[in-house]
């Protein structure tokens, strides 16, 4: 089962470039990524640019509406993700707890829909 682990954080919170603990923080990410790769469950994973670069697209009555910023103004924004192939939710939750940002932000774990019947049921 594939799970998307979405990393939410408050921008400016947690270790920032230049902070003494920033190197350790990035190192923890590096180690986590390596470990899920070695376990063979890593499919993809990337950080995102700042939410200030986000653009939202909607199509209403056939007209494309484009607006600056994320869909909803919230304190915590999506900062990156991992796509992992796990045995079950417990394995995904175990991985999520070890993403370094989990210590000051939060990780939303969502299964990838396998067929529409499941999603509609």
Binding to another protein by residue 1, rule CB under 8 A? yes
88 Cβ contact list (under 8 Å, min separation 6) = 1
Contact 77, 70 (CB under 8 A): yes
Smallest gap, in angstroms, from Cβ of residue 121 to another protein?
6
What is each CA distance from 27 to 4, 34, 66, 73, in whole angstroms? 22, 10, 37, 30
Q: Which is nearer to another protein, 26 or 112 (CB)?
A: 112
Interface map 78-107 toward another protein (x if CB under 8 A)? --------xxxxx--xx-------------
Q: What is the binding site for another protein (CB under 8 A)?
A: 1, 86-90, 93-94, 109-111, 113, 115, 117-119, 121
């Amino acid at each position: 089962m594939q799970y998307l682990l979405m990393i939410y954080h408050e921008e400016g919170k947690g270790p920032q470039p230049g902070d003494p603990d920033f190197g350790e923080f990035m190192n923890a990410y590096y180690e986590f990524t390596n470990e899920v790769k070695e376990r063979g469950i890593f499919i993809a994973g990337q950080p995102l640019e700042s939410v200030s670069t986000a653009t939202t697209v909607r199509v209403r009555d056939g007209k494309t509406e484009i607006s600056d910023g994320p869909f909803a103004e919230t304190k915590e924004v999506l900062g990156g993700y991992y796509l992992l192939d796990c045995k079950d939710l417990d394995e995904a939750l175990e991985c999520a707890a070890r993403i370094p940002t989990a210590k000051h932000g939060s990780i939303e774990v969502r299964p990838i829909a396998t067929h529409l019947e499941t999603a509609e049921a």
